[in-house]
Structure 1
Amino acid sequence: MKMSSTQGPHSLAFRVMRLCRPSLHVEIPVRFDPSDLLFGEDLFDDPVAASHLPRLLADTVSATAADGSTTSADPSDLSYRNRFLLQHPSDSLGLPGLLLLPQSFGAIYLGETFCSYISINNSSNFEVRDVTIKAEIQTERQRILLLDTSKSPVESIRAGGRYDFIVEHDVKELGAHTLVCTALYNDNDGERKYLPQYFKFMVANPLSVRTKVRVVKETTILEASIENHTKSNLYMDQVDFEPAQNWNATILRGVDHHPESKQPMSDVFKPPILLRSGGGIHNFLYQLKLSSDGSPLPKVEGSNVLGKLQITWRTNLGEPGRLQTQQILGSPIAQKDIELRAVEVPSIIMLEKPFMVRLNLANQTDRVLGPFEVWVSQSDSLDEKAIMVNGLLTMHLAQVEAFSSSEFELNLIAVKHGVQKITGITVFDTREKKTYDSLLELEVFVDSQ
């Protein structure tokens, strides 16, 4: 953290310490043999002493074993091949059981809560009075006030004393941040003095989210790849996709995932997903479908907002973090002037018996369309045609107002049994001389009994 210099002598000074959880203090184990502490290298140069060395080493080993530890070292072996053997399983951990307090300001990431302990110290030999303290965060776009004692100033800070407080801020912007601490106080001679101090820090991005959108028939598949850019492991508590209006989202899991219906407590005891430090990646897959509530899609040409991801995580010692992505866009939607959909189709269709299909013709423009003519295309030969019109080949429809719809019925007859398709319904705007075809394709089952 960098601190700006202040002009002129001041009785007060700010000290800032970031509050964060400690980390595990890991020591690299240094292996040595106890005999290294008892005998020097010159002992090997004396032939008389060297002859007694195996017996002395045996005494050292036996004394060590008497304390309860075990060893497999041969006392007559004077080489170094046994010096680095682990005598106890805990020797390999290198953990002395200590926690290490932060020695520097450390890295601050987007989505975390910045928490700082601020102390204003009186280093003079006299008391200062009526101290007004302010603390705020400045970014490139805004200023956020964290503390203001203007309405209730600190009455006095004695000589050698201090006033402490804690501020918190949810980090929501990347880049340079400045913690501005100011104090307005009365000095010993009654002069009103102003002390500003500036503490700068950078905010980095802890995660990168890459998305890929694929469309399979009427289903949109969204793949989200989340990568860890921090120097510590991240445990993903929640990665949820919030679909936009008109969309429904379902997460797709692997085949080895047990159905949630068999795990009533799965949401409570769901294990977090580990993203290892320095580049750990996990992929999430979502299936998106347009909702069938009949509400129209947004009328903005080419827009296709799918939704956004909500991501929460914790670090090794439980520090929380939360991010929300920007809106994820799918393939542009080609705006259609009219839309044709089936409203009512008989559940049972018998071979060579007429049936009615109720259809809805929707005008998705801001102008009046029509009148229309509707017919079923007869491009296929009679031998290949499975469902035909029963009655008038052409139906006339009235005009349809802007953003309105009109319903009508088609009288059809099936000439082949099994699963068949109703296709070829064509709508012709008689005023604009415009033909709309391939608007609808339905699959029905025709029973021969």
Structure 2
Amino acid sequence: MINRAIYLGETFCSYISINNSSTLEVRDVVIKAEIQTDKQRILLLDTSKSPVESIRAGGRYDFIVEHDVKELGAHTLVCTALYSDGEGERKYLPQFFKFIVSNPLSVRTKVRVVKEITFLEACIENHTKSNLYMDQVEFEPSQNWSATMLKADGPHSDYNAQSREIFKPPVLIRSGGGIHNYLYQLKMLSHGSSSPVKVQGSNVLGKLQITWRTNLGEPGRLQTQQILGTTITSKEIELNVVEVPSVVGIDKPFLLKLKLTNQTDKEQGPFEIWLSQNDSDEEKVVMINGLRIMALAPVEAFGSTDFHLNLIATKLGVQRITGITVFDKLEKITYDSLPDLEIFVDQD
């Protein structure tokens, strides 16, 4: 049994010695060493093609094996020797060394969205009996995102700030439950357009790459599973207000500037724009001035088009522009109406 704690992400290193305790020389020694887990067998050493020629009586043959630990749970180091004894008889000697691989860290994440910006908080807790010096806790975003680590501003000089960027001292997380929090700001990437493209399935934010060293400088490395954010539903067409007058005159035409954006990789349209009717019997105060349906040409992939809607208000005071609707003539799809807008209607 191997007594030392073995942790996921470390490099397992074992010094193994084969001793000839007989009074005669042994020859043609074939040595094998492998790691066995519940899922696989990993060969670490095999001298079948070049056996150890001989080990004298009382002599030994030493070797070192290494293995990057990537599985939790029970492991067995199996060492075998096949040799010819002093009388020329082939003999087989197996040895088994069992050990358990534990998790050195726990990583807890929280995702929050504030005004189109996504913040990821990662809390790392040390479960080992050794202090861990974090060389790197880097967030690798998926292809739809960019990431920036946010750090608290401390009272330090420009010289110290430059030195920290060059040397980047490791973060200490103390043994037996020490924790450290990391904060990242994530932004969705735009694909050739001024606004981010919300791709279906782009709730996959990315993963953390974590590297550390122990008190004795032994390295470790872990990678988290993909971290998920808020599920994003595909929005192929988006209508936004560019400019709305703060004050308009009663019974006088005014222009509302809008932008229609195609957030897909193919041409969409042509479109029709209109003001939908209220479900209630209430009379509409702001109406289209002229033709009730406005036609728009197709919009290219990841493109947008600006247009003006000619409106007229028939009642004084604060009024709402409601029910601005987009209809795709080719796909026969009616998109959600634009949220209500408020304008102030004056006498002149």
Q: TM-score by structure 2 length?
A: 0.77
Q: Is residue 332 of structure 1 aligned with residue 235 of structure 2?
A: no
Aligned to 1:288: 186
Choose which of 164, 167, 175 in structure 2 pairs with 1:266. Answer: 164
In the alignment, residue 206 of structure 1 is paired with which amino acid? P
Deviation at 1:436, TM superposition (A): 2.2
Q: Which moved more, 1:155-164 or 1:256-265?
A: 256-265
Task: Say whether the 8 Å CA contact 1:354–1:390 is kept in structure 2.
Answer: no
Aligned to 1:277: 175
In the alignment, residue 295 of structure 2 is paired with which amino acid? H
Alignment partners' CA distance in 2, 1:190 and 1:363: 76
Choose which of 191, 205, 216 in structure 2 pairs with 1:317. Answer: 216
In the alignment, residue 290 of structure 1 is paired with which amino acid? M
In the alignment, residue 396 of structure 1 is paired with which amino acid? A
Aligned to 2:306: 409
Superposed CA offset, 1:113-135 (max 9, x none): 11111111111111111111111
Alignment partners' CA distance in 1, 2:268 and 2:325: 15
Q: SS where residue 437 of structure 1 aligns?
A: coil
Aligned to 2:205: 306
Trace 1:304-383 onto structure 2 (pairs within 5 A): 304-336=203-235, 338-340=236-238, 359-363=260-264, 372-375=271-274
Judging changes above 3 Å, is the alpha-carbon distance between structure 1 residues 106 and 262 closer, same or farther for their aligned structure 2 residues? closer
Alignment partners' CA distance in 2, 1:229 and 1:200: 21
Alignment partners' CA distance in 2, 1:374 and 1:259: 58
Choose which of 320, 336, 339 in structure 2 pairs with 1:436. Answer: 336
Judging changes above 3 Å, is the alpha-carbon distance between structure 1 residues 284 and 362 closer, same or farther for their aligned structure 2 residues? closer
Alignment partners' CA distance in 2, 1:243 and 1:152: 47
Q: Is residue 426 of structure 1 aligned with residue 325 of structure 2?
A: yes
Deviation at 1:440, TM superposition (A): 11
Deviation at 1:316, TM superposition (A): 1.6
Judging changes above 3 Å, is the alpha-carbon distance between structure 1 residues 256 and 391 closer, same or farther for their aligned structure 2 residues? farther
Choose which of 70, 79, 100 in structure 2 pairs with 1:202. Answer: 100
Task: Say whether the 8 Å CA contact 2:239–2:338 is kept in structure 1.
Answer: no
Q: TM-score by structure 1 length?
A: 0.61
Superposed CA offset, 1:383-436 (max 9, x none): 9x8xx98876633246789xx566433026899xxxxxx997521245646342
Structure with higher Rg: it is 1
Q: SS where residue 265 of structure 1 aligns?
A: helix
Deviation at 1:378, TM superposition (A): 9.7
Task: Say whether the 8 Å CA contact 2:206–2:226 is kept in structure 1.
Answer: yes
Gaps of 5+ in 2: 249-253, 313-320, 342-348
Higher helix share: 1
Superposed CA offset, 1:55-106 (max 9, x none): xxxxxxxxxxxxxxxxxxxxxxxxxxxxxxxxxxxxxxxxxxxxxxxxxx31
Choose which of 62, 84, 91 in structure 2 pairs with 1:186. Answer: 84
Deviation at 1:175, TM superposition (A): 0.7
Trace 1:104-115 onto structure 2 (pairs within 5 A): 105-115=3-13
Number of aligned residue pairs? 320
Alignment partners' CA distance in 2, 1:390 and 1:265: 65
Task: Say whether the 8 Å CA contact 2:120–2:183 is kept in structure 1.
Answer: yes
Judging changes above 3 Å, is the alpha-carbon distance between structure 1 residues 377 and 363 closer, same or farther for their aligned structure 2 residues? farther
Alignment partners' CA distance in 2, 1:439 and 1:154: 81
Alignment partners' CA distance in 2, 1:313 and 1:264: 23
Choose which of 212, 217, 221 in structure 1 pairs with 2:119. Answer: 221
Judging changes above 3 Å, is the alpha-carbon distance between structure 1 residues 406 and 136 closer, same or farther for their aligned structure 2 residues? same
Task: Say whether the 8 Å CA contact 1:391–1:411 is kept in structure 2.
Answer: no
Alignment partners' CA distance in 1, 2:190 and 2:213: 37
Q: Is residue 155 of structure 1 aligned with residue 73 of structure 2?
A: no
Q: Is residue 396 of structure 1 aligned with residue 303 of structure 2?
A: no
Alignment partners' CA distance in 1, 2:100 and 2:206: 29
Alignment partners' CA distance in 1, 2:123 and 2:205: 16
Q: SS where residue 164 of structure 2 aligns?
A: coil
Q: Which moved more, 1:391-400 or 1:321-330?
A: 391-400
Alignment partners' CA distance in 2, 1:318 and 1:436: 59
Q: Which moved more, 1:309-318 or 1:351-360?
A: 351-360
Gaps of 5+ in 1: 3-104, 416-421, 442-449
Deviation at 1:174, TM superposition (A): 0.8
Superposed CA offset, 1:321-359 (max 9, x none): 1111111111222233x22267x979xx99999797653
Task: Say whether the 8 Å CA contact 1:426–1:439 is kept in structure 2.
Answer: no
Aligned to 1:31: none
Q: Percent identity?
A: 65
Superposed CA offset, 1:276-301 (max 9, x none): 1111111111111111234855544x
Deviation at 1:361, TM superposition (A): 2.6
Judging changes above 3 Å, is the alpha-carbon distance between structure 1 residues 269 and 258 closer, same or farther for their aligned structure 2 residues? same
Q: SS where residue 436 of structure 1 aligns?
A: coil
Q: Which moved more, 1:287-296 or 1:370-379?
A: 370-379
Deviation at 1:235, TM superposition (A): 1.5
In the alignment, residue 156 of structure 1 is paired with which amino acid? S
Q: SS where residue 268 of structure 1 aligns?
A: helix
Deviation at 1:199, TM superposition (A): 0.8
Superposed CA offset, 1:161-202 (max 9, x none): 011111111111111111111111112222222222111101
In the alignment, residue 215 of structure 1 is paired with which amino acid? V
Q: Which moved more, 1:311-320 or 1:117-126?
A: 311-320
Task: Say whether the 8 Å CA contact 1:428–1:436 is kept in structure 2.
Answer: no
